[in-house]
């Protein structure tokens, strides 16, 4: 495959001119931020660079199979090098506790695909049309003439499929499909094995908490808006972690009458993480942006610090307003 005609020049120079790098993934890490960061870590190591990958939260068990995942450091264990690359982060608050590494860096770069990214780094490679940041990173390998081996392919595959709903969401690009086909054709990935690891291995606690939330979904706006709510007390009752809550918002969205799905989860600090999904109408990225969050038209989120009743009332009103635009 030939590299996309994206401007990789500044990022390539940023990489070649530096010697020590810190890679930053976003809080509540998903397959794309981790897979992309690990792929870049492999690339930098091949170039003889010193590199560390840092995330404010531990790597979820579901992604522990990715080569190099055991090297991902918590902020307190990281050194913080002079060059920092932000990976799949729409804005700096997404770094969480690791934000100091970005703030103290001598040189910064960002590789991302979120349309809400304002270009906060010194060097920015932001491609909103890409299905996932992993798609951009794959093209970066091609642009640098670096071969993709099975370890890197596993990481990039995970990033692409998890950000596209296993290649089923509307953000799935022809290029993303070609990348996966290239991996399969070259024997770089075992799709059956990776599918089992990512989608067919579910912790018991996650099954319990997902069942409870979906059994108590409330429908608003004539059924067009579905809302699932999970309090901290209920999480503790089921022995669930934040990791176990990933994907629950998709269950809300998938109800036949729902156009905008919402999942509200109470955090340990009393704040509420609001995850938003829409099907074919309703720009949930615009809703999230009003609250300092971000994302895409069909998938976005933000953190709210008001009372639960206020959070619910706000999201109902804003979802209804968004749907009225359609």
Domains, the chain: 9-199 (3.90.1640.10), 206-324 (3.10.310.30)
- Residue range 12-56, pLDDT digits in tens: 999 999 999 999 999 999 999 999 999 999 999 999 999 999 999
Report the chain's C-alpha Rg in angstroms.
19
List, in sequence order, the alpha helices (H) in the chain.
9-17, 31-46, 99-104, 133-143, 150-163, 174-185, 191-199, 204-215, 232-238, 248-253, 284-290, 308-324
Which pLDDT value is given to residue 5?
A: 72
Q: 287 φ, ψ to 5°?
A: -65, -45
- CA 24 – CA 87 distance, rounded (Å): 6
Which pLDDT value is given to residue 2?
A: 57
- CA 282 – CA 296 distance, rounded (Å): 11
**Chain centroid offset of residue 218 CA:** 26
| Strand order from edge to edge, sheet including 225-230 | 218-220, 225-230, 260-266, 272-278, 299-304, 294-295
Tokens (6 digits) for 223: 């059924």
- CA 26 – CA 131 distance, rounded (Å): 17
Torsion of CA 49, 54, 59, 65, to 10 degrees: 0
CB-facing half-sphere around the CA of 322: CA atoms within 13 A: 28
For residue 51, list its beta bridge partners.
21
Tokens (6 digits) for 296: 């895409």
Which pLDDT value is given to residue 326?
A: 78
Question: For every one of its 326 residues, what pLDDT tens digit does the chain have, with 9 covering 90 and above?
Answer: 656 679 999 999 999 999 999 999 999 999 999 999 999 999 999 999 999 999 999 999 999 999 999 999 999 999 999 999 999 999 999 999 999 999 999 999 999 999 989 999 999 999 999 999 999 999 999 999 999 999 999 999 999 999 999 999 999 999 999 999 999 999 999 999 999 999 999 999 999 999 999 999 999 999 999 999 999 999 999 999 999 999 999 999 999 999 999 999 999 999 999 999 999 999 999 999 999 998 889 999 999 999 999 999 999 999 999 999 97
Q: SS3 for 277-321, per residue?
A: EECCCCCHHHHHHHCCCEECCCEEEEEECCCHHHHHHHHHHHHHH
Which pLDDT value is given to residue 315?
A: 98
Q: 43 φ, ψ to 5°?
A: -65, -45
∠ CA 116-118-119, nearest 5°, is 130
């Amino acid at each position: 495959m030939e590299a996309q005609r994206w401007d990789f020049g500044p990022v390539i120079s940023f990489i070649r001119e530096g010697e020590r790098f810190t890679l930053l993934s976003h809080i509540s890490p998903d397959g794309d931020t981790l897979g992309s960061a690990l792929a870049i870590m492999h690339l930098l190591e091949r170039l003889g660079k010193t590199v560390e990958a840092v995330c404010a939260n531990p790597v979820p068990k579901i992604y522990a199979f990715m080569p190099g995942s055991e090297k991902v450091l918590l902020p307190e264990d990281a050194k913080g090098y002079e060059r920092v690359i932000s990976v799949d982060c729409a804005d700096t608050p997404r770094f969480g506790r690791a934000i100091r590494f970005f703030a103290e860096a001598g040189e910064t770069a960002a590789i991302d695909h979120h349309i809400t990214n304002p270009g906060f780094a010194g060097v920015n490679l932001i491609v909103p049309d890409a299905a996932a940041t992993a798609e951009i990173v794959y093209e970066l390998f091609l642009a640098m003439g670096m071969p993709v081996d099975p370890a890197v392919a596993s990481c990039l595959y995970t990033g692409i499929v998890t950000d596209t709903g296993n290649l089923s969401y509307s953000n799935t690009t022809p290029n993303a499909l070609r990348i996966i086909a290239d991996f399969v054709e070259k024997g770089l990935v075992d799709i059956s094995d990776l599918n089992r690891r990512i989608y067919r291995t579910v912790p018991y606690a996650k099954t319990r908490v997902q069942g409870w939330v979906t059994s108590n979904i409330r429908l608003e706006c004539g059924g067009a808006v579905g809302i699932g709510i999970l309090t901290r007390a209920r999480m503790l009752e089921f022995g669930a972690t934040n990791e176990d809550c990933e994907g629950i918002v998709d269950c809300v969205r998938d109800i036949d009458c729902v156009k905008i799905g919402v999942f509200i989860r109470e955090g340990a600090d009393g704040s509420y993480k609001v995850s938003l999904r829409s099907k074919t109408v309703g720009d949930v990225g615009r809703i999230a942006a009003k609250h300092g969050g971000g994302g895409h038209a069909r998938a976005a989120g933000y953190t709210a610090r008001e009372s639960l009743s206020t959070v619910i009332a706000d999201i109902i009103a804003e979802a209804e307003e968004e749907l009225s635009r359609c």
